Amino acid sequence: MNGIINVKKEAGMTSHDVVFKLRKILQTKKIGHGGTLDPDVVGVLPIAVGKATRLVEYMQEEGKTYEGEITLGFSTTTEDASGEIVTETRLSEPLSEEVIDTAMQTFVGTIKQTPPMYSAVKVNGRKLYEYARAGEIIERPEREVTIDAFERTSPLFFQDGLLSFQFRVVCSKGTYIRTLSVDLGEKLGYASHMSALTRTSSAGMHLEDSLTLAEIAEKVAADDLSFLQPLELGIGDLKVLELTSEQEEEVRFGRFISLAVEDEQVAGFHEGKLIAILEKREAVYKPKKVFQ
């Protein structure tokens, strides 16, 4: 069984939980996911099965789209709605839409983020959430991420000193939307948190086409494997090159070939099928991963 599955991860499950359950449903061990989602977050979780697991690193590199809600007025330990309140800064009156929209635009581009304490980033061999659960706060390394779009998608809702609004963000791998929500609040002068989040696209897959684990289990029981999408969808942002029959044969034998490109890595196709991921070695390309 080889292919990619567009799973709709439900709230309360970790990405690892999804992989664990799918191994039972599909009766196969070779499964991996193409991008972690926090337990409270719903949405697209690309899953690689069989040979497709060798493409996970490329699936993770592709940009992602999220839709969610930000609430100004208090911050939490986890930067989302599941944490305990840390700081309260209730608003006496609502901000204007223009002020919020202008502040959001300042985050578009390449920015630096400090990962939240409740995250899986490793520091000195331990995950940050392990430090957080032990009550330890340590220095966290900054990371650069890219925000392609960050926009408000709803009117403002103001009640009891809290101001909420929905948003959409298109971003690179490694972006913490919780942290983006908190940083926006700081920019506006208020404590804030991410009050809801859904990942609507990842690795070229979209929420409207995703299936829950229950729906996948039903299809498997009916011997319907139509949910398995081809390996070719898992190449991420790699450039696609059509190989000649001669080049395809050379690649299958692991031989170096010459290509008229300069990219560090490319996806070599022949007649619509992914043949190999090719890696630049000086003036030629070496097969890094062969699939056919």
CA–CA gap between residue 205 and residue 156 (Å, rounded): 30
Taking 80 as the threshold, does the pLDDT of residue 117 lie above it?
no
pLDDT per position as a tens digit, 178-205: 999 999 999 999 999 999 999 999 988 9
- Percentage of the chain beyond pLDDT 90 is 76
- Burial of residue 271 (CB within 10 Å: 0-12, 13-18, 19+) is exposed
Question: Are 45 and 202 in contact, with CB atoms under 8 Å apart?
Answer: yes
Letter string b/e over residues 173-201, b meaning 16 or more CB atoms within 10 A of that residue's CB? ebbbbbbbbbbbbeebebbbbbbbbbbbb
Residue with tokens 């081809």: 230
Overall average pLDDT of the 245-262 stretch: 93
What pLDDT shows up at residue 128? 64
As a whole number of angstroms, the distance between CA 108 and CA 234 comes to 27
In which band, very low, low, confident or very high, does the pLDDT at 114 lie, cut at 50, 70 and 90? confident
Band of residue 222 on the pLDDT scale cut at 50, 70, 90: very high
pTM of the shown model: 0.88
Q: What whole-number distance in Å separates Cα of residue 20 and Cα of residue 163?
A: 39
Tokens, residue 272:
């619509």
Instruction: Say how far apart CA 118 and CA 286 lie, in whole Å.
Output: 40
Rg for the chain, CA atoms, rounded = 22
Distant-in-sequence, close-in-space partners of 108: CB < 8 Å, separation ≥ 6? 147, 148, 149, 150
Q: Phi and psi (nearest 5°) for 181?
A: -65, -40
Residue 140 is predicted with a pLDDT of: 72
The two tokens of residue 237 are 């942002």
Q: Which residues make beta-bridge pairs with 64?
A: 171, 202
Rounded CA-CA distance 137/199 in Å is 29
Q: Mind telling me the catalytic residues?
A: 38
